[in-house]
Amino acid sequence: MRKPWRRLLAGGAIVILTGLAGLTGLLAPADRLAGDWRTALLAHEVQSDVLIVAIDAQSLRSLNTWPWSRGVHARLLDRLDTADPHAVFLDIDFSLPSEDAAADRALAASVARPRRHTLVLPAFWQYASAASSTGRLLTEPLPVLREHARTGLVNLFPAPDGLVRDAVHVEDFGRREYRSSAAILAGQEGLRPGVAYPIDFRIDPASFEYVSYADVLSGHVPAERIRDRTVLVGATAVELGDTVPVPVHRAVPGVTLQAMLYETLRRGIPHAVPAHFGWLLCLGVVITWWRFERRGGRAQLVFALGTLTLLPVLSLYLHGVHDLLLDVAAPMLAALLCLITGLLVNADRQAWSAMLAALRLRRQQALMSGLFSASIDGILVLDASRRIVDCNDAAAKLFGIDREQLIGYSLDMVLPVLSAEAHAPLRPGRFEVPGLTRGGPVPMEVSVSRVAGDDTGLMTAIVRDVSERHRQHAALRHQATHDPLTGLPNRVLLNELLDTLSADVPAALFMLDLDGFKQVNDTLGHGIGDEVLRALGERLRESLSEELQVFRLGGDEFAVLVSCYRSRAQLLRLADRIIERIREPVTAGGHRLELGGSIGIAIFPEHADNGPALMQCADVAMYTAKSGHHHSAFYDATRDHNTLRNLKMAASLRAAIEEGRLHVVYQPKLRLADRVCCGVEALVRWHDPELGNVSPAEFVPLAEGSDLIAHLTRFTLQQAIRDHAEWAQQGMALDLAVNLSARHLGDAAFMSELVELVADRGIPPERLELEITETALMDDPERVLAVLASVAGQGIRLAMDDFGTGFSSLAYLKHLNLHTLKIDRCFIRDIEHNVSDRKIVESTLLMAHSLDLVVVAEGIENEAQATLLDQLGCEVGQGYAFARPMPADEFVEWYHAHQPSRPQLRSVGA
Ligand code: C2E
Ligand code: CA
Ligand code: CA
């Protein structure tokens, strides 16, 4: 019982129950029985002074009549008197006169005779009528007898079981108290009237000495045997029927029982332990049980057996040693009830929990088998030797084998890799292994686990076909790593591949940017643009060998990874081939289109030893290529704004511009026909204390990367105008050319600021020429055209610088309000020897003149070039052959030194 109040309740009920059983006498038979057993165990012979003069069979035979004449008894008295006993009790009824009056008189005479010892005659009482228990009738010896003897009661009443166990020693008859014969004989005082005192049946009847009445009468019993003895005279012969049923000794003659009564009084009456002590015992038993109850059935059994043994032993001990009578039926009953209650409750609890467990198990089993059969995943149950002992339908379907057939298979037959370590026990865990199915090997995910609570080595394997997942993964990966338009691998895949590059194998990355693609997109629409990209992507993929992988990085940017190469020359040839393929016309949307491309080449690990850096290098190289005269370029750290030197340079440049530490030099332009200096080109110079002389080819692109370029242009222009104004005052009539960055042409605000600046300084606008490059026109031609138109509208001239290095067609230039065309020096360098260069220059001149443009040849380094160009019809020349760029004051000197005697004030083309 887990709850204490329940235990309390049960215990209380047991105490009350046993108490009630005790009170109602229900336990009395048990107590009597227990007392009898105890007594029987303790029965023994005692030392007694009782001499029983027995009216036995022998006496009856010798006198040969019955009832005897009272004269006989008179004679016996006489005999006894002469022997001088301690006391005499005649257990013979003398209440009525007999038929023989003489004999009566003789007896009376005998009784009346004076004697030293006590003579006791019996009396008894009975209820006046059988129906009532109020009026009592006392039957006493005849008055003549009782005058001279003492009268003692001999009443004995049986217990409900018919056995006599106790006796009342004092009866109160109102007028007088009567004592029992035994009490008189024993001289026992202080006994309470009406109280039944127990008879001590431990006293063996054999403790008394028996002599035959007849023997005493005939004088055969010597007086010494009688002297000082307590003599009881009574019937023992069976035929006289004076026997009393008693416990332990079954039936004893009345006289013997009187002797036992007497002896009991003499030895001391056993005391009954008060009833409330029995109740306390019950309580003790229950309390003890509470302590045992919690410990289970076995403890309770021990408790009960202990209690049921201890209680009788205790009562035996009390009876035997202390003459205390303890009834233990009630506490024993309590112990039994405790045991039964405990066992019942325990059994109940176990039964309940067993029932619940069974229910739970059934539910669990139902759930498990439901899961097992409904699972989409295959489930295999394996024994310790990896044999399939059970499986679900999903598993059978997965492997394409009948379930009945699959059961019994070894795991190796379906998942060979999983059981590769043939004899090692299967490891629990998740694995991805190929599974053998009817349709061939299929990737499967297997989750192996031990069956909990099983010690035979059972395992389960949950198997799932993951080929679909693989397919999806692959598709997703393809999607993530490929460009949807061209189907080429994308930047993600390139990055991954770059990460795997090893320093032992030299590799190169080509960054390819299409030229002119923006125009296609803008003029023909994105649909055609996409078609062009698709076609070019396809073309690139086709034309490149296996070890070269093409990527589309976005927009019109492609990359080629060269995973192994022999020489730089080889890389250049490859780049040329790619450009050639790009230049082949593409037909898209009915249009035949021609595009170009620039390739930047970065070498791993020479230029960069990691993917992102290599990409950046290739990017820088690509811009170099775009702005240079070749279609491809290797990475050059000096062109890279992001190198340490360039970052440092950017900081110093800013300071130099702000502090006015830049200066401007001038290179003269000469009319080739008469070598008269007609103008100058202003070129910026920077000397840094730390970096030394830095070329504008290096720092101008750097400045273009930030707002510095605006400051730089402003500074150059202001300085040049200032110098120009001074020269004008000296009478030097010169055209002034200033370079403009491509960046400015998109910046209308800055351009109008420049125009204002020119107007403010009072320089005639037609004296100023702004040199722009073709690349400046590429980004947003319309906007640039608008800006240039407004500049030209102010009267400022425009010159196309570095002509021939870009891709703009002359027809296109027609829309610009150009005044001058500057042929790039790469065409001039070999013009005397290189026929194609000369042809290009010739045709450029032809075309330029047809457009009314003045042509300037740049980079003339010798007289022969100057002469040839003059012959070809080129108006103006510029180059080291005439003068290097020089500071303003130096230029003035040079000007005066080189000016032919005849001053030429007219400007070229004006
Ligand atoms: P550019 O406009 O083509 O300038 C001419 C360049 O050719 C100058 O180089 C000049 O020194 C060089 N040069 C002149 N004659 C010869 C020759 O006979 N042979 C050789 N090999 N070279 C010759 P510089 O001064 O180093 O300028 C380089 C470039 O820097 C210029 O090319 C121009 O694009 C840019 N630049 C220079 N100053 C400025 C400026 O103030 N603003 C802008 N935006 N760019 C400038
Ligand atoms: Ca220039
Ligand atoms: Ca130039």
Q: Which atom of ligand 1 is nearest the CA belonging to 741? A: 44
Distance CA 149, CA 140 (A): 11
Identify residue 815 by its one-letter amino acid code. H
Helix axes 467-481, 491-499, angle to 10 degrees: 100
Q: For residue 681, how far is its CA from the centre of ligand 2 (angstroms)? A: 7
838 or 506, which is more confident: 838
Most confident of 180-184, 283-287, 334-338: 180-184
Distance CA 179, CA 121 (A): 12
Checking if the pLDDT of 905 tops 50, the result is: no
Tokens representing residue 615 in the block: 């990409």
**Ligand index nearest the alpha carbon of residue 667:** 1
Checking if the pLDDT of 909 tops 50, the result is: no
Beta carbon of 805 within 6 Å of any ligand 1 atom = no
How is the chain split among helix, strand and coil, in percent rounded to 5? 45, 20, 30
Q: Which atom of ligand 1 is nearest the CA belonging to 885? A: 11
- Give the helix/strand (H/E) hosting 764: none
Tokens representing residue 901 in the block: 């005697």
Q: What string of H, E and C letters represents the secondary structure of 800-857?
A: EEEECCCCCCHHHHCCCCCCEEEECHHHHCCCCCCHHHHHHHHHHHHHHHHCCCEEEE
pLDDT bin (cut points 50, 70, 90) of residue 820 is very high
**Ligand index nearest the alpha carbon of residue 822:** 3
Q: What string of H, E and C letters represents the secondary structure of 539-594?
A: HHHHHCCCCEEEEEEECCEEEEEECCCCCHHHHHHHHHHHHHHHHCCEEECCEEEC
Q: Give residue 421's pLDDT.
A: 61
Mean pLDDT over the full length of the chain: 88
Distance CA 378, CA 398 (A): 7
Name the closest-CA residue to atom 43, ligand 1. Answer: 739
- Region for 908 from its dihedrals, namely left if φ exceeds 0, alpha if ψ lies in -120 to 50, beta otherwise: beta
pLDDT bin (cut points 50, 70, 90) of residue 82 is very high
Nearest of 67, 70, 79 to residue 107 by alpha carbon: 70
Beta carbon of 662 within 6 Å of any ligand 1 atom = no
Q: Mean of the pLDDT values across residues 196-203?
A: 93
Helix axes 297-322, 275-293, angle to 10 degrees: 150
Across-strand partners of 591? 588
Nearest of 245, 40, 264 to residue 160 by alpha carbon: 245
Name the closest-CA residue to atom 10, ligand 1. Answer: 885
Q: Mean of the pLDDT values across residues 122-131?
A: 84
What pTM did the predictor assign?
0.42
pLDDT bin (cut points 50, 70, 90) of residue 355 is confident
Distance CA 247, CA 43 (A): 11
Q: Give residue 553's pLDDT.
A: 92
Checking if the pLDDT of 198 tops 80, the result is: yes
Q: Give residue 135's pLDDT.
A: 80
Q: For residue 682, how far is its CA from the centre of ligand 2 (angstroms)? A: 8
Q: For residue 858, how far is its CA from the centre of ligand 1 (angstroms)? A: 10
**Ligand index nearest the alpha carbon of residue 802:** 3
CB 837 within 8 A of CB 865: no
DSSP for residue 737: E
Q: For residue 752, how far is its CA from the centre of ligand 1 (angstroms)? A: 25
Beta carbon of 739 within 6 Å of any ligand 1 atom = yes
Across-strand partners of 548? 562
Q: Which atom of ligand 1 is nearest the CA belonging to 700? A: 45
Cis status of the peptide bond prior to 605, with omega within 30 of 0 = yes
CB 256 within 8 A of CB 91: no
Pairing of strands 735-739, 676-688: parallel
**Residue in the block written with tokens 């332009």:** 669
CB 605 within 8 A of CB 551: no
Q: Which atom of ligand 1 is nearest the CA belonging to 773? A: 34
Instruction: Among 715, 718, 739, name the best residue to mutate to test ligand 1's pocket (greatest count of ligand atoms within 8 A of Cβ).
Output: 739
Checking if the pLDDT of 423 tops 60, the result is: no
Q: For residue 465, how far is its CA from the centre of ligand 3 (angstroms)? A: 69
Most confident of 533-542, 555-564, 629-638, 882-891: 882-891
Q: For residue 818, how far is its CA from the centre of ligand 1 (angstroms)? A: 20
Q: Mean of the pLDDT values across residues 810-828?
A: 85
**Residue in the block written with tokens 């004269």:** 71
Q: For residue 86, how far is its CA from the centre of ligand 2 (angstroms)? A: 173
Q: What pLDDT digit, counting tens, does each position of 547-564 carry? A: 789 999 988 999 999 988
H helix runs in 135-294, sequence order: 143-146, 181-186, 213-217, 223-226, 254-267, 275-293
DSSP symbols for 445-474: EEEEEEPTT--S--EEEEEEE-HHHHHHHH
**Ligand index nearest the alpha carbon of residue 740:** 1
Q: Give residue 904's pLDDT.
A: 46
Tokens representing residue 270 in the block: 């056993």
Q: What pLDDT digit, counting tens, does each position of 481-497 carry? A: 999 999 999 999 999 99
| Candidate from 387-396, 635-644, 678-687, 897-906 with smallest mean pLDDT | 897-906
Name the closest-CA residue to atom 25, ligand 1. Answer: 683
Q: For residue 173, how far is its CA from the centre of ligand 2 (angstroms)? A: 165
Q: For residue 618, how far is its CA from the centre of ligand 2 (angstroms)? A: 27
**Ligand index nearest the alpha carbon of residue 709:** 1
Identify residue 180 by its one-letter amino acid code. S
Distance CA 508, CA 580 (A): 19
Q: For residue 151, how far is its CA from the centre of ligand 3 (angstroms)? A: 173
Distance CA 841, CA 828 (A): 8
Helix axes 4-23, 329-374, angle to 10 degrees: 150
Distance CA 249, CA 793 (A): 159
Instruction: Encode burial over 233-266: b for 16+ CB neighbours within 10 A, e otherwise.
Output: bbbbbeebebbbebbbbeebbbbbbbbbbbbbbb
Q: What pLDDT digit, counting tens, does each position of 847-889 carry? A: 899 989 999 999 999 999 999 999 999 999 999 999 999 999 9
Q: What pLDDT digit, counting tens, does each position of 758-806 carry? A: 888 778 999 999 999 877 776 667 788 888 888 888 899 999 998 887 6
Distance CA 108, CA 436 (A): 131
Name the closest-CA residue to atom 7, ligand 1. Answer: 859
H helix runs in 253-328, sequence order: 254-267, 275-293, 297-322
Name the closest-CA residue to atom 15, ligand 1. Answer: 879
Tokens representing residue 394 in the block: 């999903």
- Give the helix/strand (H/E) hosting 695: none
Checking if the pLDDT of 812 tops 90, the result is: no
Identify residue 136 by its one-letter amino acid code. R
How far from each other are the two terminal CA atoms of the chain, in whole angstroms? Answer: 125
Across-strand partners of 231? 51, 88
**Ligand index nearest the alpha carbon of residue 823:** 3
Instruction: Among 666, 680, 683, 824, name the best residue to mutate to test ligand 1's pocket (greatest count of ligand atoms within 8 A of Cβ).
Output: 683
